[in-house]
Structure 1
Amino acid sequence: MRYSVAPTAAKQIDLVKGNFNNGGQFQIILGTGIVDNVYAEFVQLAHASESTKEEVKLEAAQKMNPVQKLLKTLADVFVPILPALVASGLLMGINNILTAQGMFFPDKSLVEAYPQIADLAAMINMASNAGFTFLPVLIGFSTAQIFGGTPILGAVIGAIMIHPDLMSGYDYGQALLDNTVPYWNFFGLAVAKVGYQGTVLPVIVAVFFMSVIEKRLHKVMPAMIDNIVTPLLSVLITTALTFLFIGPVMRTVGDAMTSAVMWLFFDLGALGGLIYGITYPLLVITGMHHSLVTAETQILANIETLGGSPTFVVVACANCAQGAAALAVMFLAKHNAKMRSVASASGVSAWLGITEPAIFGVNLKLRFPFYAALIGGGIGAAYATMVQVLSVSQGPCGIIGVICIRPDCMLQFLVSVVIAIVCTFIITFVFAKTIGRKQLATL
């Protein structure tokens, strides 16, 4: 289907907030509450047949290169479980507020000042840890859905990998140093009896193989015994492959990913934050930013040893910078009521962590605000990395994300975000008078 004229024509419609190409699709941004009405009218006028969400995804995936497909797969695995991670993260933030020393009272936490809420804090702490403690189970369920396996069997594989009979994965490094790693003896082959707590990639790959094995067995197994033998063999074969090959290899790959992120932030310092802060909005344009959840989740799952994640504040700075650029356009577009409306709403949305309306509806359309946001967000991210702002959970990557930050870093988080906002706002006005004069004249 050709749509060479569609972008230009779409811009002339008042209800249209923006349009862009993403993952082989031409997408139009509409105002909240009207998209269903527009869709129903479009289907009727075009005499078009409806497709399911899965069918649309499959069609779009055909136009992606292998790297895009890999990143999309990682994103598809994590997007369904994000609500659980966000809920756990926000509960963890609440627990931090209740238990942080010196936040409200000198040398004392809220729980110590009000002992009657101690049990409530303990319950919140337990609830906040559950999502990360049983993360492999959630990932296993979601991965099986993506690759066509039985989701509950994927959850079983995830549960096997963190079974309490195994040595905790958190103790594996020290056990290696102490030479105390327990082993199974499989016909003379020593296999480490170690769990995969705090890991992400091992369970994804293990459940992928389980899904492949299960689908192959369904094709060859007689119907009479299929429901009994196929689950048995799928779980048994996958368990053996996981502890023999998949787990050790993917643990190494996952550790390398975590080490790369930590090197970027803690060895390169401000430069690493600047690079990440500038790169993140570029990934948002392609939709690949969801794949970054893989590394973020692995870091947070090892928070006891790593102390926190440095990536959350960088994303928050990048998001708030996009919002600041959009709000700057609101002031610049004095004679364009539609642009002022879109810029104000999308700017506030970006400050709350949702940047797509600001990026596609305002900043990319004019280009110079997007460039300003890249620079301003990078400056804020560089400062945050320099002072080592760390988060303890996932959550909304905007101003309100302060609840997800380590208590001793909360003030510096707000300073970093303000730097990103102020710098972007100023740079947007400067660019409007220099490289963006032609675009500004169109407002």
Structure 2
Amino acid sequence: MDFKKIAEETFEAIGGKENITAAAHCSTRLRLVLKDEEIIDQKKLDELEEVKGTFSTGGQYQIIFGAGIVNEVYKELAKLAGISEMSTKDVKDAGTKKMNILQRFVKILSDIFVPIIPAIVAGGLLMGINNVLTAQNLIIEGKSLVEANPALADLASLINTFANAAFVFLPILIGFSATQRFGGNPYLGAVLGMLMVHPDLLNGYGYGAALIKNDIPVWKIFGFEIEKVGYQGSILPVLVSSFILAKIEINLRRVIPSAIDNLLTPLLTIFITGIITFTVVGPFTRTAGNLLTDGLIWLYDTTGFIGGAIVGLIYAPIVITGMHHSFIAVETQLLADIGKTGGSFIFPIAAMSNVAQGAATIAIFLTTRDKKVKSTASASGISALLGITEPAMFGINLKLRYPFIGAIIGSSAGSSFVTLYKVKAVALGAAGIPGIISIKPTSIIPYIVGMVISFSIAFIVTLVLAKRDERITTTKMSSEKAIYS
């Protein structure tokens, strides 16, 4: 394979040196920040056999080459562009400058929550295992596994403790990650999170009951009363407080002499932020967070399968804009407050959308005679079924358009079904076939049926639309003669 030639052709297609602001690569994709994406010769890129797909997201233009190829192409491209080795973080930062305010906000949420997803996933999956052990009628009629086998009781209790840890101490994880994202000392952010879940405080989960009984403990300081209430499982309070902490720390370091900076800055930062958190930010954002959660639950319970169908229809278009990253914060809150919410209803809908995208792509794999399209469709279709849809969506479905239409129709049908049966997830994970292990045990069968519905309808609609498109033998893919049978 002539990597130099591939790089030269790619270099020319994207507009040359003058159009490249930043460039890096991950394991499969070339990640570029371009001054003007309008001047890209998309047709030339599509005709390159080694290019498996392209898409633009988050201020970056990404070209899929595949593992083992992209790094070699990048080396040659870097020589042509005269750029030094850059990390994907450098490119992300450069791409952020091209975003509007809403896109930047979504990216901030993504940057904060993506690093802590493994902890939330681990806790959620352990919660799922605990549910399998304790749910009645799941495996044994009239009994749970623990009731049928009392020896498993302590194991279930142990797993339950492990599962709850990430959610009970969630403010610590978010405090660390958010403060780091906002430019502050992440360890001070972790301390702030610890303050918010300190055992001396009233547990946040018991706040509602204490409020009804008018039995909320307070600090009485100089005639003021400050509620001694924790923020277990809360998202919004620690996000806002972490932002305040980072800004206070940054500004203090500018005015405090370096000789005493290490002594005074952490002290004042934690003390000032702590006071602001418990007097202003905490009470206000707790109420706002509760209203948001209650609103989502109301919308889900009220609109039912119709609302599910609508969300399923628009979920993939939302993914195109990158706005789906903002759902991570919402899902985390739903899972943290699982006793009230029952879990996340967003995850099953995302899974229906991903499966539908995979089904549409597989339909293209079975109908196209173009070898490059077939190669790309086979790999990306399977990837979408497993929860990664970018290659399928951007590499096949959006370019041909009608597979994307088939996919969102299938997604809408599947989402309507899982919403009708109140399917919810107890953990985050791969939204697709592997997502079965993230679903509440009693909802696993409706979840599987929903995937079958989503897959079948997306597949059939794509085939029908492909037949209608048979008269137009020239596609917008890699070849001008991709004929669909």
Moved more, 236-245 or 264-273: 264-273
392-401 or 235-244, larger mean C-alpha shift: 392-401
Residue equivalent to 2:128: 93
| 1:439–1:222 Cα change, 3 Å | farther
Over residues 153-186 of structure 1, what are the superposed CA-to-partner deviations in whole Å (9 max), with x where a residue is unaligned?
0001111111111111111122222222222223
CA distance in 1: counterparts of 2:274 and 2:470, whole angstroms = 58
| Matches of 1:145 and 1:6, distance apart in 2 | 39
| 2:454 match | 420
Deviates more, 1:390-399 or 1:105-114: 105-114
Further displaced range: 40-49 or 425-434:
40-49
8 Å CA contact 1:316–1:398 kept in 2: the answer is yes
Give the direction of change, closer, same or farther, for the CA distance of 1:440–1:317 in structure 2 (3 Å limit).
Answer: farther
> After the TM superposition, which parts of structure 1 deviate over 6 Å for at least 4 consecutive aligned residues?
none
Shift of 1:250: 1.5
Q: Which residue of 1 aligns with 2:42?
A: 7
Deviates more, 1:182-191 or 1:71-80: 182-191
Q: 1:356 aligns with which of 381, 384, 390?
A: 390
Equivalent-residue separation in structure 1 for 2:474 and 2:419 (angstroms): 34
Partners in 2 of 1:345 and 1:57 — Cα distance?
Answer: 26
The one-letter amino acid paired with 1:158 is: G
Q: Residue 345 of structure 2 corresponds to which residue in structure 1?
A: 310
Q: Give the corresponding residue for 1:339.
A: 373
1:66-95 deviation line (CA, Å, top 9, x unaligned): 111111111110011111112222222222
Matched-pair contact (CA < 8 Å) for 2:360–2:406? yes
Question: Separation in 1 of the partners of 2:426 and 2:80?
Answer: 50
Question: Separation in 1 of the partners of 2:411 and 2:325?
Answer: 19
The letter of the residue matching 1:289 is H
CA contact (8 A) 2:172 2:194 kept: yes
8 Å contact from structure 1 (residues 136, 197) kept in 2:
yes
| Whole-angstrom distance in 2 between the partners of 1:202 and 1:167 | 16
Query: 1:7-44, CA deviations, whole angstroms, 9 ceiling, x for partnerless residues?
Result: 22211122211112222221112223432222222213
2:58 pairs with 1:26: no
Shift in CA distance, 43/190, structure 1 to aligned 2, threshold 3 Å: same
Identical-residue share of aligned pairs (%): 49
CA distance in 2, matches of 1:434, 1:192: 66
When residues 171 and 337 of structure 1 are mapped into structure 2, their CA distance, relative to the original with a 3 A threshold, is same
Match of 1:139 among 152, 155, 174: 174
How many residue pairs were aligned? 442
Distance 2:179 2:473 in 1: 48
1:390, CA displacement in angstroms?
1.6
Q: More displaced, 103-112 or 310-319?
A: 103-112
Q: 2:400 aligns with which of 358, 366, 378?
A: 366
> Structure 2 CA distance, aligned partners of 1:312 and 1:181?
35
1:49 matched to 2:113 = no
Gaps of 5+ in 1: none
Q: Tell me, yes or no, if the aligned pair for 1:264 and 1:273 is still in contact at 8 Å.
A: no
**Residues 249-398 of structure 1: matches in 2 within 5 Å?**
249-333=284-368, 335-398=369-432
Give the Cα separation in 2 of the matches to 1:115 and 1:40.
61
Q: Indicate if the aligned counterparts of 2:125 and 2:426 stay in contact, CA closer than 8 A.
A: no
Return the letter of the residue paired with 2:379.
Answer: A
| Cα pair 1:366 1:439 within 8 Å, conserved | no
Residue 119 of structure 1 deviates from its aligned partner by 3.9
Which residue in 2 is equivalent to 1:38? 73
Runs of 5+ unmatched residues, structure 2: 1-18, 20-35, 476-480
Equivalents in 2 of 1:79, 1:387: separation in Å?
29
Structure 2 length as normaliser, TM-score?
Answer: 0.87
Distance, in Å, in 1 between the alignment partners of 2:138 and 2:329 is: 32
Q: 1:83 to 1:411 in 2, by over 3 A?
A: same
Aligned to 1:153: 188
Q: TM-score, normalised by structure 1?
A: 0.95
Query: Equivalents in 2 of 1:41, 1:121: separation in Å?
Result: 55
Equivalents in 1 of 2:210, 2:147: separation in Å?
A: 36
Task: Output the CA distance in 1 between the equivalents of 2:65 and 2:289.
Answer: 39
- Shift in CA distance, 230/408, structure 1 to aligned 2, threshold 3 Å: same
For residues 87 and 440 of structure 1, do their structure 2 counterparts lie closer, same or farther at Cα, with a shift above 3 Å needed?
A: farther
CA displacement, residues 300-321 of structure 1 (integer Å, 9 cap, x when unaligned): 1111122222211111111111
SS of the counterpart of 2:99? coil
CA contact (8 A) 1:148 1:211 kept: yes
- CA–CA distance in structure 1, aligned partners of residues 222 and 327 of structure 2: 40
Q: Is the 8 A contact 2:316 2:408 kept in 1?
A: yes
CA distance in 2, matches of 1:437, 1:128: 56
SS of residue matched to 2:197? coil
Residue 51 (structure 1) shift = 2.9
Show the counterpart of 1:227: 262
RMSD value, Cα:
1.9
CA distance in 1, matches of 2:251, 2:263: 15
SS state at 1:397 partner: coil
AA aligned opposite 2:382:
V
How far did residue 113 of structure 1 move? 4.2
> Would the alpha carbon gap of residues 271 and 64 (structure 1) be closer, same or farther in structure 2, given more than 3 Å must change?
same
Question: Counterpart of 1:73 in 2: which secondary structure?
Answer: helix
Residue among 411, 415, 419 paired with 2:445: 411
Contact 1:172/1:194 (8 A) holds in 2: yes
Q: Decide whether the 8 Å contact of 2:103 with 2:322 is kept in 1.
A: no
